[in-house]
Amino acid sequence: MGSGSKVASAVELKTVEEINRLRLAGQQAAELLQRLKKACVPGITAQALDELAARIIRELGATPAFLGYRGFPAHICVSVNEEVVHGIPGPRVIRAGDLVSLDVGVFYQGFCGDTATSFGVGTMSATAERLLTVAEEALERAIQAARVGARLGDVSYAMQSTAEVAGFHVIREYGGHGIGRAMHEEPHVPCVGQPGTGLRLQEGMVLALEVMVNVGTPHIRHLSDGWTVVTVDGSLSAHFEHMVALTASGPEVLTRSPSPSPSPLRGEG
């Protein structure tokens, strides 16, 4: 789940032990996300995915991080096509050709795991395929930029520039965040930034990096449910999120799937 910009306070540096526990939480979130992605086939409703998420979270021995967060009414966010983030799973039926963004968060043994992915259900348009490729690449470049001694602006710029070179746009109003015992900690990590500016990155920071990329303009609006963020122009949007620990030997992704299984379907790799 993305954070809006907040008042700055101290950024907490995690110990090796805390990072170990965040890795465990991150792996639970990653497993949940992969299992939901597999279940996301034409004909299923977003609400059925949410019910499945509730069962998997219980099986994992975790608790939902989104349910009740500022009143959010579900276990996961399901955002389809022009929905950017924070879609409330309801009766909407997932159809072939939809671009689905799933965002999950859990608490596990006192620490939070938060991760998101986007993918096509069935055959996608060439634009949708390219959006998914570019948005995922934007996150990968941001992860590589998240190095001890670099600046927060370097990370944000990696997202923004990757999207814009491809002719797409990142959104301004939401971004990633620090993460630990709480889901949203300092710093806020925007999807836009200038290289060489902003917070100096230090060993022990753990960031949930999130990129939200629109095919059309960067402008968004909120639906009347108070949560769902959609593109103003109705264009497609994709969302990817990984938790990253900043270590002396480089960025470590804490939310890679524990048992990646090769998929024969395009766009589900």
SS3 assignment, position 18:
helix
Q: Which stretch binds Mg ion (CB under 5 A): 42-50, 60-68, 138-146, 208-216?
A: 208-216
| Closest by Cα among 194, 92, 106, 212 to 150 | 194
CA distance 269 to 265: 7
User: Does 208 participate in binding Mg ion (rule CB under 5 A)?
Assistant: yes
Q: Is the peptide bond before 251 cis (omega within 30 degrees of 0)?
A: no
Q: Which structure tokens are listed for 261?
A: 């299984």
Going by DSSP bridges, is the β-strand pair 76-80/206-214 parallel, antiparallel, or unpaired?
unpaired
x/- binding map, residues 136-155, to Mg ion, per CB under 5 A?
A: --------------------
Min. distance of Cβ 26 from Mg ion in angstroms?
Answer: 12
Question: Per DSSP, what are the bridge partners of residue 85?
Answer: 229
Min. distance of Cβ 96 from Mg ion in angstroms?
Answer: 28
H or E element at residue 139? helix 126-145
- Which one, 26 or 153, has the nearer CB to Mg ion? 26
Min. distance of Cβ 177 from Mg ion in angstroms?
Answer: 6
Within residues 77-136, the interface with Mg ion by CB under 5 A covers 114
* Among 1, 139, 246, 253, interactor with Mg ion by CB under 5 A: 1
Q: Which structure tokens are listed for 173?
A: 């109003």
- Which one, 26 or 124, has the nearer CB to Mg ion? 26
- Which one, 31 or 114, has the nearer CB to Mg ion? 114
- Residues lying near Mg ion in the complex (CB under 5 A) are found at 1, 114, 208
